[in-house]
Amino acid sequence: MTLVDRPVQLSAEIAGRGVHLRWAGHATDLHPHWLRDRTTEPGQIEATNWQRLFTPHDIPADLSVVAVEAAGSSLLVEFSDGHRAHLDLGTITRDLGWTIDPDAPPAAEAWTTPLDSFPYIDWSGIGWTDDDADLDAVIAALDAFYRHGYVVFRNTPACEGVVDRVANRIGYISGQNFGWVFDVRTEPNPTDLAYTSIELLAHTDEPYRQAPPGIQLLHCIANEAPGGESTLVDGLAAALAMQHDRPELFRAMVETEVEFRYDMGTDTVVNRGHVFEYDRHGRYRGMCFNTKLDVPLPRPGVDLDAWYAGRRWLTGWLNDPAHQVEFRLEPGDLMFMDNHRVLHGRREFDASRGHRHLQGCYIEHDGPDTMYRLAVRRRAMLSG
């Protein structure tokens, strides 16, 4: 919904030092500095990157609005320092939460059973450059990723190095203690259980890093060994289910500080956090769950009985086949999953009966967010 979509009277008037704005049943008081910071007039911002050229010390502390008028899609504001600004009302109402951000990716949709249509995405629609891309395919792929927390790209070249190229097409590859790109195959002296053939229960990757990686990419080069099917489960759905069914255990998962430690003597990485992370407004931010390397920190008032009962409950819920999607990665398939939301696992496989080689890496959430927003804008420009 935009200002143009709704023929609703909009009014703006001076209130104290700021502005009282009314529109479509909404009303609020806008601070003069909040308005002043939004100016885009010549000399106030750099024309290429739109960053402010003025600093807080350039604006009087007692700044006030001396005149205001709503005109069309703009708010015309004159300030006590003599500056006049034409402010975009669409931007203001978006920042106030009165209208949606037209570029924003869709909200997450929790799922507890496999999706009716598995989100396989043909990589040819994404392309290796923006010029090669089908904008509708890019938007559809990222739309599915944001809604469900994962997609699987198909028909990428089944050779080493492709995961690096895909990562840098969608975002920027981020390094970690296993390097920029890691090989998932059985090793005689494994530095991680992923480099064995045993079953891996649902987990998030690398919670021991001070900023756990945002998105994991896992590319299949060869998968000839029997077994080894991949599993995914929705951590957001698990949080909602636990909060509803076992609120006392849910509180322990949210409140108890946990140390996640990777330490093999020659390499050690340590982080402290919580199984479920929420922001100060109670919005779900993510999950860190890996029973191979977690230790709750005993502190006065901490109920470790509840925490361990909660971990047991979560382990059961997350590894219940009824809540998981199970599939086999074929050569050329690339799994793209939100490591803050979706937990992944793997069935046991027989390494003696076939070659299995995957390559993986990580990027952060900024990459697909930027890609989605720019694709939406570009499609709008081309259609308009």
Scan for tokens 């929790």, then name that residue. Answer: 110
Using CA atoms, how far apart are residues 286 and 309, in angstroms rounded to an integer?
20
According to CATH, what is the number of the domain 120-373?
3.60.130.10
- Say if residue 5's pLDDT is above 60: no
- Domain range summary for the chain, segments of one domain joined by +: 10-95, 120-373
Q: What are the pLDDT digits (tens) for 180-234?
A: 999 988 887 887 788 888 889 999 999 999 999 999 999 999 999 999 999 999 9
Using CA atoms, how far apart are residues 234 and 216, in angstroms rounded to an integer?
15
Which CATH class name applies to 10-95? Answer: alpha beta
Which band of pLDDT confidence, cut at 50, 70 and 90, is reported for residue 384?
Answer: confident
- What lies within 8 Å, CB to CB, of 79 at 6+ separation is 32, 35, 36, 63, 64, 65, 66, 85
Please, what is the average pLDDT of the chain?
94
Hey, which residues does 266 pair with through a beta bridge? none
The amino acid sitting at 97 is G
Element (H, E) at 200: strand 200-203
Which band of pLDDT confidence, cut at 50, 70 and 90, is reported for residue 1?
Answer: very low
Domains 10-95 and 120-373 share a fold: no
Look at residues 315, 167, 184 and name the one whose alpha carbon lies nearest to residue 238.
315
